[in-house]
Amino acid sequence: MSQKNRISQYLQDLIPVTFALETAEEFQVIGSGPVQFKVRVRQEIPKKELVRSTSLALGEAYMRGDIEVDRDLYEVLDLFLGNMERFRRSPHALKGILNTSLDMTKQKEEVSSHYDIGNDFYELWLDETMSYSCGYFAHTGTSLFEAQVAKVDHILEKLQLKEGMKLLDIGCGWGFLLKRAAERYGVRGVGITLSEEQYRRFSRDIKEGRLQEMLEVHKMDYRELAKCGMKFDRVVSVGMLEHVGRGNYGRFLASVDEVLRPGGLFLLHYISALKEHSGDPFIRKYIFPGGVIPSLREIISLLPDYQFYTLDVESLRMHYVRTLQCWRENFLKNREKVVEKYGEEFARMWELYLASCAATFHNGVIDLHQILVSKGVNNELGMRRVV
Residues annotated as catalytic are 357
Q: Which stretches of 220-341 are assigned E, i.e. beta strand?
A: 232-238, 260-272, 308-315
| Other Cβ atoms within 10 Å of 329 Cβ, number | 12
**In terms of residues, how long is the chain?**
387
Angle at 62 between CA 60 and CA 64, to 5 degrees: 70
| Cα 69 to Cα 62: distance, rounded to the nearest angstrom | 9
DSSP class of 175: S
Sheet containing 367-375: order of strands: 215-219, 188-193, 166-170, 232-238, 260-272, 367-375, 308-315
H-helix or E-strand spanning residue 97? helix 95-98
| Cα 161 to Cα 157: distance, rounded to the nearest angstrom | 7
Instruction: Give Cβ neighbours of residue 7 (< 8 Å, ≥ 6 apart).
Output: 21, 23, 41, 45, 50
| Cα 172 to Cα 139: distance, rounded to the nearest angstrom | 26
H-helix or E-strand spanning residue 353? helix 344-362
| Cα 110 to Cα 194: distance, rounded to the nearest angstrom | 10
| Cα 359 to Cα 12: distance, rounded to the nearest angstrom | 19
Contact predicate 171/239, CB 8 Å: yes
311: burial class by Cβ within 10 Å (0-12, 13-18, 19+)?
Answer: middle
Sheet containing 19-22: order of strands: 27-30, 19-22, 38-41, 67-69
Q: Which residue from 40, 41, 21, 17 is spatially nearest to 29, judged by alpha carbons?
A: 21
Q: Which stretches of 165-207 are assigned E, i.e. beta strand?
A: 166-170, 188-193
Angle at 54 between CA 53 and CA 58, to 5 degrees: 115
